[in-house]
Amino acid sequence: MVMIEWSEHKAYWRNTKTQMLTSLVPFLLVLVVLPLYAEVLNSMRVLVTIAVFVNRQDAIDHSHGAHEDI
């Protein structure tokens, strides 16, 4: 059973929040601003964001011992 240490909780959640903000805020900005100024939006940006998010979040989980036993 993989359980995160209680002392690690705060650091883990801080990293998760940073990762969430760095993933979603630029994505949302691009999503809102680009259609206003560009004729065509490159939808691949969506795919890049989710793929980068999954890989980075897995890395954060592992570095804090919070990962699933899979």
Partner 1 sequence: MAATSRAGLVNPRLGTYFGIFASALAALVLMALMLEQLGVSDAAVRLVMLCGPIGLYAAIGLLAPTREAQDYFACGRRVPAVFNGLVLAIGALGGAGFLALTGAYFVVGYDALCISLGISAGLVFMGVLLAPFLRKSGDYTVPSYLSRRFESRTLRVVAAAVLTVPLLLLLAAEARFAAYASARLTRQPEEAMALVVVVCATAMVLAGGMRSHTWSGSAKAMAALIALAVPATIVALMLTNLPLPQITHGNTLRVLTKIERGLPILTAPPLVFDFPGQGLEPLAKRFIHAFGGIGSVAFVLTLLTALAGIAGSPSLLMRPGSTPGVHEARKSFGWAVLIAGVVLLTLPAVAIYLRVLLLEQVVGQPIDRLPAWFLTLRDLGVASVDPTGPTVRLVNISFDRDAVLFALSYAAGFPQVLAYLALAGGLAAALLALASALLASAAIVSEDVVHGLRAEPASETARVLAARGALGGIALVAVWLAIAAPADPLRLFLWSLAYSGSAVFPVLLLSIWWKRTTAWGAIAGLIAGLVATTAAILLSEAGVWTLPSVLAGAIGLPIGMAATIATSMLTPQPSQHIVAMLQEIRVPGGETLYDRELRLQRLKTRPVA
Q: How far apart are CA 65 and CA 70, in angstroms?
A: 13
Rule CB under 8 A: which of 11-50 touch partner 1? 12-13, 16-17, 20, 23-24, 27-28, 31-32, 35-36, 39-41, 43-44, 46-47, 49-50
> Given candidates 11, 15, 25, 65, which one binds partner 1 under the rule CB under 8 A?
65
Residue 65 C-beta: closest distance to partner 1, Å = 7
* Residue 7 binding partner 1, by CB under 8 A: no
